Each structure stands twice: as C-alpha cells, then as structure tokens.
C-alpha cells in the first residue's frame, strides 16, 4: 500500500489552481495548487491554522475563493453551492461531526440519497408509484451503507444517542450515500481511540479497493497519514510547502521546521 | 438522554398507536350530532386553528424557521377570497385554491430575499412582514380592502346550486374535511425526501447543504406551502364570518399559531392538534373565570415549557420499517 501510485495527468480527479481565500486581513489560503489523482488517498497535513479546512471549504463550496479555480472531473465548480457540488460527486465530513442529531441513523444516511432522487412535491403528497419505488431504492442504499459501517443495530436510534466513534462512521456513511467520486474527510480520526483509528484505517483501505472512489483527507495523526496515504501535501500559513510520498515527507526538513519551528534567529 | 424508566414513560407520549387517529376521527364525525351550535362553532374554530397550526408547523416545526408573521399569509387568503367573491361573485369553493395560490405566491415573493436569514433575524423580519400586511389592509389600497372596516358580505360556499354550506354543522364538516386531507398530505410529506430534507435543514443547515440538499429551495418551498395552507384557512374563515377585517390578523394571531406548534411539539402533527385544542378550547372552558383566564393561560404555557420543553406530543422518529438487515442482528434494542 505504501507504494507510490501517482498516475498520469489525465487521471486527475480534482485540481485546484491558485486558490486564494482572504478573511479580513488574513490570507487563510494563498495561491494554493492541489491535484488529486483517481483512486488515491491524499492526505493534507499541516500545523493548526495552516488553512487545511479552508481549502476543504473552498472545494466543497462552503466558501467561494477570492482567486483561483476548482476543477472536478474536468468541470469548473468554483463558487457553486455546496448542494450542487455534492451532486457533481464530492461528499464530505466535518472536523467536528455534523449529523442530524434528532433524526435516526438510517434517516441520516437516507438524507445522503436526496441528491440522487427527484420526487417532487406532488408525487410525494400523493405517493405515486414512481415515488414509492424511489423511496424503496433510497432505503435500500441506506441499509447497505449502514451495514457497511456496521451500525445496522442502531438504525432506528437517534443519531445523537450513539457513541462518538459510531457517529464518525455514520457521517462517513452519509457522505457515501451521496454516491461520490471524491470523498473529502476532515480529520476522520480525531477523537477516536487507537482501536477505532485502526478500524477506520482498514475501513478506508477496503473502501478505496472496492469502490470507484478517491479520498482526500485532512489528518493530524501521523500513524494514519503514513499508514494509508498514497500522497501527502503539506500546508503551512496558507501555502503548500511540500508534497510527496509519505516516506519522503516524513524526512523533509521544511516539514519538520513547519511543525517544530525554525532554528534560532529568524523569527 | 432517555434510558430505562424514562424511555418507557416518554414512549407513552411519543408512539401513536393505530387506534388514536381512528378514535379521534370517529369523535370528530359524531361530535356535532351531540353538541349545540355554540359548541359546534367552538370546534369549527378548533379546526381553523388546527389548519393554521399545521401550516405554520411546516415552516417552524419541520424546517425550524422562526416565522412570527404567519397571520399575514392567513390574511392574504381571507382577503383574496372576500374581495374576489364580493366584487366578481366567484364561488367560495373555486376561490379555495386561488387563495392558496395567492398566499403561496405572496410568500414566494416576500421570502425570496430574506430566506437566507437565520433564527432571530428571520423572526424579526417576518414580524415586520405580518405587520406590513395588516397595515396595508387598514390603509385600503386601491379601495380594495375597505380599510379598518374590512370587506362585508362574503358568500356561503356552494357545492351545487342547492347544496349550500350555511349552517354551523356544515362549516364544521368543511373545515375538518380540509384538516383531514391536509393531515394525510402532510404525513405523506413527512415520509418523503422532501420531509427529510426539511428536517435536515432544521437539524444542521450547513450539514444539509453538504449532504446535497438545496437549502434555499427547500426553505422557500416550506414557506410557500405553509402560506398556501394558511390561505386555505383564510378562505374558510372569510366565508364563515361573512366578513374580514384587519383586526382578525394581528400579531397576536401569529403568536397563537407559534404557541400551537411549540405546545404540541415541533414537527408533530398530533402535537399541532393538541396545541390547537389548547388554544381554541382553553379560553372557552375557562370563560367563567373571565378575569383570570389569560393569567391561567399564560401560567399553563410557562409550566408546560418547563416540564415538557419538547412539546406535549413530540414526533416519534423512525417510522420506516427496517427489513432484512436488522432481522439478522436480532432486532436489538426495541
């Protein structure tokens, strides 16, 4: 798995060119380029405040960038609304889990299928055969996804009542229910115990092996980064400072400096 | 939160056994044959408030949008019916969908620019919206609304030339038939992708967008539908009272609708019926204590919110039967 597999340029799934996001006087992300290749797990790392989550929010349409473009599967998606980016095939999770707490686990996942369904107001009120078929399909997908993350016993439990680690997996299952081509995970291992982290890693490995999927993740846990990434991109102060295969990054002096600080003198 | 004993207790309030709607429907059907016209009229207004509660429940209960100007939509429905009927003699029942469409269109136009507002900001804007509607009606624009006096002489609904709805009992059945149909439609919606999308927006708007739900579209849809249903209530109200005037559509009416949804439990249809019953029947039951009834009313609401902050009958989730997969794992924690 540690074998580098950066493929040819025409296999690029997601490409950002020169994205810049400014908050007031702060350049949270500045002139940032990123290419994510088909079928790989790419980790975006960097110290706190480096702008990783901002990059995610730009890619998923929560922010629109001041400059630069986001191209996904050959189409420009810069500045599109989050829901339309989800329909185009990018699904995400959040650093601090954001489920629909007072809905059941199954309903949470069914919500993911929303963008793949089209029943309107009249077919929903009158429960037309087409609408019933679609509901059936939504439920089937949701049941498969909940089984995949091994939460089927909690299907009818409210999302807020299940354990923290399970909530993380539920959020991933909800993202997967949108039938994404690119899965964007913001610190999926945060708050998980070592056993759960291990399970998450093997889950992601199985996922990438079994589905037509690419994964982009922000991660702080170096064991996870080194263990599952095909490619690592390092950010600091809104800029990309290094990228490469995990082993190369691990020993890169710039990266070590960004995490541990510089030698004496230059502030 | 609720484990063990408390789960058992709350189950009593949250599950809806099949016989509850059956008994309630039966009661609604036989009630007027045992009641005087006065009590039938009270039950008629219970029906009107149920309809208004159901309409606000779409916006406030399902989507969590604070709308304290809902009386504005109710007024649009009532005035459209009254004006078109008195000026052009269009039959009341034909105006039922027209009122709904007019109120829905009005909601679309007014809410489009404000739909991105959150929580209390939206609340304040909708209060303003409701008040503007009322003040506009008082100012008699284009000589249409009759100013503070309102519009008089609204006709009875006619099913056919000989079948005129003009007695208390007939109005009672009209309003409760509409309530019944609305409930059926709304239950269908609750168990559709639209109902789920609404609830997702209520639970976490950002996550809803990131899950592929067009937040703006579904918020607007809720407002349009809610306003349309309030317009229907306005239509029935106008023909029952035979006149409409601005004082029927004050901020207080909006507050009552808000209370109906909160008392019953946000997003709960049986809850709306309980809330509407409370709002419409309580003042009648306590009429002998005229001086104190609003005091008692207020106190009951405060105690209610302290004891059951989720409402009297919150919606129970998880109605979708889960087949295959659960059976393997032994149905777990039911």
The pLDDT tens digits for A187-246 are 999 999 999 999 999 999 999 999 999 999 999 888 899 999 999 999 999 999 999 999
Strands (E), chain A: 12-23, 26-37, 41-45, 67-72, 75-76, 90-92, 182-186, 214-218, 231-236, 239-244
| Cβ contact A101–B211 (<8 Å) | no
Residues of A with Cβ-Cβ distance to B194 under 8 angstroms: 119-121, 124
Tell me the pLDDT band of B326, cut-offs 50, 70 and 90: very low
pTM of the model: 0.88
User: Touching check for A127 and chain B: CB below 8 Å?
Assistant: yes
- Which of residues 75 through 114 in chain A touch B, CB cutoff 8 A? 81-84, 86-87, 91-92, 94, 98-104, 106-107, 110-114
Given a contact cutoff of 8 angstroms between Cβ atoms, the answer to whether B122 and B65 are in contact is: yes
Report the share of chain B in percent with pLDDT over 90: 54
Q: Tell me, what's the ipTM?
A: 0.90
Q: At residue B146, does pLDDT exceed 90?
A: no
Query: Does the pLDDT of residue A262 top 60, yes or no?
Result: yes
Q: Which H or E run contains A193?
A: none
Distance (Å, whole) CA B181 – CA B172: 14
Q: Please tell me the distance from the alpha carbon of residue B203 to that of residue A158, in angstroms, as a whole number.
A: 12
Q: Nearest CA of chain A to the CA of B287: how many Å? A: 39
- pLDDT of res. A111: 95
DSSP annotation string for A145-183: HHHHTT-GGGTTSBGGGS-HHHHHHHHHHHHHTT--SEE
Q: Quick one: DSSP state of residue B62? A: I
DSSP assignment letter at B289: G
Tokens 């702060």 found at: A26
Query: How far from chain centre, in Å, is Cα A256?
Result: 25
Contacts of A120 in chain B (CB under 8 A): 194
Residue range A155-197, pLDDT digits in tens: 999 999 999 999 999 999 999 999 999 999 999 999 999 999 9
pLDDT confidence of residue B15: 55
pLDDT at A263: 61
pLDDT at A7 over 80: no
Instruction: Assign B179 a pLDDT band (cuts: 50, 70, 90).
Output: very high
Taking only residues 182 to 221 of chain B, the set having a beta carbon closer than 8 angstroms to any beta carbon of chain A reads 185, 188-189, 191-197, 199-200, 203-204, 206-216, 221
Lowest mean pLDDT among A8-12, B109-113, B283-287, B306-310: A8-12
Element holding B237 (H helix, E strand): helix B215-241
Q: How confident is the model at residue A250 (pLDDT cuts 50, 70, 90)?
A: confident
Q: In this complex, do A94 and B192 lie within 8 Å of one another by their Cβ atoms?
A: no
CA distance B227 to B99: 10
What tokens were used for A143?
């049941």
Model pLDDT for residues A17-37, shown as the tens digit of each residue: 999 999 998 999 999 999 999
- On chain B, the residues whose CB falls within 8 A of the CB of A124 are 188-189, 192-195
* Mean pLDDT calculated for residue range A255-263: 75
Nearest chain B CA: its distance from A97 CA (Å): 9
Which residue in chain A has the smallest CA separation from B188? Answer: A125
List of chain A residues whose C-beta atoms are within 8 Å of the C-beta of residue B323: 143
Residues of A in contact with B209 (CB under 8 A): 61-62, 81-83
Q: What's the pLDDT band for A265 if we cut at 50, 70, 90?
A: low
* Section B275-298 average pLDDT: 80
Residue B63 distance to chain A (closest CA, Å): 12
- Are A181 and A214 within 8 A, CB to CB? yes
Domains of chain A: residue spans and CATH: 1-89+180-267 (3.40.50.300), 100-178 (no CATH)
Which residues of chain A have a CB within 8 Å of the CB of B324? 143
> Looking at chain A, how many residues does it have?
267
* Contacts with B, A 151-190, CB within 8 Å: 152-158, 161, 174-175, 178
pLDDT band at A92 (very low <50, low <70, confident <90, very high): very high
* Predicted local confidence at residue B292, as pLDDT: 76
Q: Is the pLDDT of residue A72 over 70?
A: yes
The residues near A151 (Cβ < 8 Å, ≥ 6 apart) are A105, A162, A166, A169, A170, A173
**Is residue A71 within 8 Å of A35, Cβ to Cβ?**
no
Determine the pLDDT at residue B118: 87
Q: How far apart are CA B261 and CA B256, in angstroms?
A: 9
Q: List Cβ neighbours of B28 (8 Å cut-off, separation of 6 or more).
A: B176, B180
| A126 Cβ contact partners less than 8 Å away, ≥ 6 residues apart | B188
> B42 to each of A113, A206, A264, B84, B96, how far by Cα in Å?
45, 64, 84, 27, 22
- The number of beta carbons lying within 10 Å of the beta carbon of residue A171 is 26
**Hey, of A146, A152, A167, A179, which one would you mutate to test binding to chain B, going by the most B CBs within 10 A of its CB?**
A152
Closest CB to A124: pick one of B188, B211, B317: B188
Mean pLDDT of A131-155: 94
Tell me the CB-side half-sphere exposure of residue A58, using CA atoms within 13 A.
Answer: 33
Which of chain A's residues have a Cβ under 8 Å away from the Cβ of B189? Answer: 121, 124-125
* Residue B11 confidence (pLDDT): 41
Q: Does A60 sit within 8 Å of B200, measured CB to CB? A: no
pLDDT band at B334 (very low <50, low <70, confident <90, very high): very low
CA–CA distance, A34 with A42 (Å, rounded to integer): 10
pLDDT of residue B2 exceeding 60: no
pLDDT value of position B164: 81
Q: Is B213 close to A83, i.e. CB distance below 8 A?
A: yes
- Confidence bin at B318 (pLDDT 50/70/90): low
What count of CB pairs under 8 Å joins A to B? Answer: 141
Instruction: Give helix B251-264 / helix B269-285 axis angle, nearest 10°.
Output: 120
Confidence band for B149, pLDDT divided at 50, 70 and 90: confident
What pLDDT is recorded for position B320? Answer: 43
Model confidence at B30, in pLDDT bands (50, 70, 90)? confident
Q: Which CATH number fits domain B18-328: 3.40.50, 3.30.70, 1.10.3470, 1.20.120?
A: 1.10.3470
Triad B187, B189, B195: Cα angle to 5°: 115
**Residues of chain B found within 8 Å of residue A113, distances taken between Cβ atoms:** 193
Banded pLDDT at B35 (limits 50, 70, 90): confident
User: CA A230 to CA A226: how far, in whole Å?
Assistant: 9
Instruction: Find, in chain B, the residue whose alpha carbon is nearest to that of A104.
Output: B318
Work out whether strand A214-218 and strand A182-186 pair parallel, antiparallel, or are unpaired.
Answer: parallel
Identity of the residue in B212, B318, B333 whose CB atom sits nearest the CB atom of A87: B212
Position of tokens 């016993």?
Answer: A153
User: Lowest mean pLDDT: which of B114-118, B222-226, B273-277, B294-298?
Assistant: B294-298
Whole-angstrom distance, CA of residue B144 vs CA of residue B151: 8
pLDDT reported for residue A93:
96
B22 confidence band (pLDDT: 50, 70, 90): confident
Q: How many Cβ atoms sit within 10 Å of the Cβ of residue A195? A: 9
Query: In this complex, is the C-beta atom of B321 within 8 Å of any C-beta atom belonging to chain A?
Result: no
- pLDDT score of B163 more than 60: yes
Q: Which helix (H) or strand (E) holds B236?
A: helix B215-241
């Amino acid at each position: 798995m540690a074998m580098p597999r950066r493929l040819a340029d025409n296999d690029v799934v997601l490409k950002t060119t020169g994205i810049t996001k400014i908050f007031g006087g702060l350049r949270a992300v500045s002139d940032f380029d990123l290419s994510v290749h088909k079928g790989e797990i790419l980790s975006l790392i960097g110290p706190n405040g480096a702008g990783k989550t901002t990059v995610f929010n730009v890619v998923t349409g929560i922010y629109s960038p001041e400059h630069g473009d986001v191209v996904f599967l050959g189409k420009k998606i810069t500045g599109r609304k989050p829901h339309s980016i989800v329909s185009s095939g990018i699904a995400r999770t959040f650093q601090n889990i954001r489920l629909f707490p007072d809905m059941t686990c199954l309903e949470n996942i069914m919500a993911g299928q929303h963008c793949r369904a089209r029943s309107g107001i009249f077919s929903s009120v009158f429960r037309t055969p087409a609408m019933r078929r679609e509901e059936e399909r939504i439920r089937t997908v949701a049941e498969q996804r909940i089984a995949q993350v091994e939460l089927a016993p909690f299907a009818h439990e409210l999302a807020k009542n299940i354990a923290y680690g399970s909530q993380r997996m539920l959020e991933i299952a909800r993202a997967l229910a949108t039938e994404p081509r690119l899965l964007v995970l913001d610190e999926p291992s945060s708050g998980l115990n070592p056993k759960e982290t291990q399970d998450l890693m093997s889950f992601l490995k199985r996922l990438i092996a079994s589905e037509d999927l690419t994964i982009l993740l922000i991660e702080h846990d170096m064991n996870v980064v080194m263990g599952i990434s095909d490619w690592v991109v390092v950010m600091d102060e809104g800029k990309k400072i290094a990228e490469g295969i995990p082993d190369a990054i691990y020993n890169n002096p710039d990266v070590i400096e960004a995490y541990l600080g510089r030698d004496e003198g230059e502030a | 939160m609720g484990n063990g004993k408390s789960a058992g207790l709350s189950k009593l309030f949250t599950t809806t056994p099949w016989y509850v709607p059956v008994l309630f429907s039966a009661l609604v059907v036989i009630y007027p044959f045992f009641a005087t016209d006065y009590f039938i009229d009270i039950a008629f207004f219970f029906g009107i408030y149920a309809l208004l509660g159901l309409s606000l429940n779409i916006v406030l209960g399902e989507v969590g949008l604070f709308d304290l100007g809902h009386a504005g939509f109710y007024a649009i429905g009532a005035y459209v019916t009254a004006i078109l009927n008195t000026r052009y003699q269009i039959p009341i029942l034909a105006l039922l969908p027209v009122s709904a469409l007019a109120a829905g269109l009005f909601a679309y136009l007014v809410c489009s620019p404000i739909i991105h507002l959150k929580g209390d900001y939206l609340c304040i804007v909708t209060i303003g919206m409701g008040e503007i509607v009322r003040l506009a009606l008082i100012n008699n624009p284009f000589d249409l609304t009759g100013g503070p006096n309102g519009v008089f002489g609204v006709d009875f609904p006619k099913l056919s030339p000989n079948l005129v709805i003009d007695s208390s009992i007939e109005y009672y059945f009209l309003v409760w038939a509409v309530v019944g149909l609305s409930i059926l439609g709304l239950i269908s919606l609750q168990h559709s992708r639209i109902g789920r999308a609404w609830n997702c927006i209520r639970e976490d708007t950002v996550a809803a967008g990131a899950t592929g739900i067009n937040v703006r579209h579904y918020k607007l849809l809720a407002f349009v539908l809610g306003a349309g249903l309030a317009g229907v209530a306005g239509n029935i109200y106008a023909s029952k009272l035979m006149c409409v005037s601005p004082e029927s559509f004050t901020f207080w009416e909006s507050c009552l609708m808000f209370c109906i949804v909160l008392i019953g439990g946000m997003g709960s249809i049986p809850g709306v019926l309980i809330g509407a019953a409370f709002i419409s029947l309580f003042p009648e039951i306590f009429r002998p204590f005229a001086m104190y009834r609003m005091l008692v009313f207020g106190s009951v609401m405060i105690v209610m919110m302290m004891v059951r902050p989720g409402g009297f009958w919150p919606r129970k989730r998880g109605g979708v039967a889960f087949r295959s997969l659960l059976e393997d794992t032994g149905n777990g924690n039911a």
